[in-house]
Amino acid sequence: MAPKKSELKGWAKENMVGVENCLFPSFSPDLSELDEEGIRWDVQQSIKHGFFSTLCAAETGLTFEEAKRFVEIVADEAGGKILVSVTLLFDSFEQNREMLRHAEEVGCHAVLFGYPANWYAKSEEEIYQVTKEMCDSTNLAIVLYPTPHYNFQRLHNSGFPLDALSRMADIENVVAIKVGEPGLIADCVRRFGEKILVSCPVERLLPMMVLGFGQQWIGAGCYEVFQSPDKPYLVDYFRLLREEKIDEAMEIYWMLTPARVIF
Q: Tell me the whole-structure pTM to 2 decimals.
A: 0.94
pLDDT, tens digit, for every residue of 9-61? 999 999 999 999 999 999 999 989 999 999 999 999 999 999 999 999 998 88
Domain 5-260 falls in which CATH fold?
TIM Barrel (3.20.20)
3-state secondary structure at position 141 = strand
Domain definitions of the chain by residue range? 5-260
Q: How far is CA 111 from CA 30, 144, 230, in A?
A: 30, 9, 29
CB 97 within 8 A of CB 137: yes
What pLDDT, on the 0 to 100 scale, is given for residue 263?
67
Tell me the angle at which helices 246-255 and 206-213 cross, rounded to the nearest 10 degrees.
160
Residues 6+ apart with CB under 8 A from 253: 204, 206, 207, 237
pLDDT, tens digit, for every residue of 134-180? 999 999 999 999 988 888 878 877 779 999 999 999 999 999 999 99
Tell me the angle at which helices 233-242 and 206-213 cross, rounded to the nearest 10 degrees.
30
